[in-house]
Amino acid sequence: MKAISIRAPWWWCILHAGKRIENRHLGFPRYTGPILLHASSTWVKRDVLGTLENLHAEGQISRDVFGQLGPMREAGGHVVGTAVVVRAEPNGRYPDDYWAADEQLGLWLTAVRELTPHVKAKGQQGLFNLEGIAVR
C-alpha cells in the first residue's frame, strides 16, 4: 500500500484536529487512492512546540495537546493511520482553506482513521510502498 511519512505535529493534526490537506512540494506525485499515514521519527522539540503554540493561538487546537507530547513522540517510526487521497493539486485554487500552504501540492484527505495499535515501520521520503501492514 502507498504511504507517506509525516512529521509531528502534522500527522497528529490529521488524526485529531481536522487537518485534511497534507502539503507537499509541487513535484510530489499526484497520487490519489488509499494511503498509510506514517509518523516520522524525526522529532525537533523546538519546532513541534512552536508549531503547536501557533496552532493554539490561531484556535486550531486546544492546550490539551501539550499533555500528549510523550505519546506523540513515541509514535514516531510507526504507521499511525489511514486515509484516502481524493485530490492532489496545487493549493492556489483553495486560498480559504486554513491548512493549504501557498505554492504547495495539496493532498486532500478523506476517510481518515487512526490505527490502533500503531504499527512499527520504517519511513521514507516521498511516496513509498509499505507491505504487510494489516488495515482493519
Mean pLDDT score, 50-55: 94
In this prediction, residue 43 carries a pLDDT of 94
Indicate the DSSP class of residue 100: P
Q: Write out the residue range of the structural domain in which residue 42 sits.
A: 2-123
- The number of folded domains in the chain is 1
Please tell me the distance from the alpha carbon of residue 46 to that of residue 14, in angstroms, as a whole number.
Answer: 20
Does residue 128 lie in a domain region? no
The pTM of the full predicted model, rounded to 2 decimals, is 0.93
Half-sphere exposure of residue 91: CA atoms within 13 angstroms, side-chain side:
22
Beta carbons of 15 and 65 less than 8 angstroms apart: no
* pLDDT per position as a tens digit, 75-110: 999 999 999 999 998 887 666 678 888 889 999 999
In this prediction, residue 99 carries a pLDDT of 87
Residue 135 predicted with pLDDT over 80: no
CATH code for the domain of 66: 2.30.130.30
Residue 28 CB-density burial (10 A; 0-12 exposed, 13-18 middle, 19+ buried): middle
Does residue 88 lie in a domain region? yes
- How far, rounded to the nearest angstrom, does the alpha carbon of residue 60 sit from its chain's CA centroid? 15
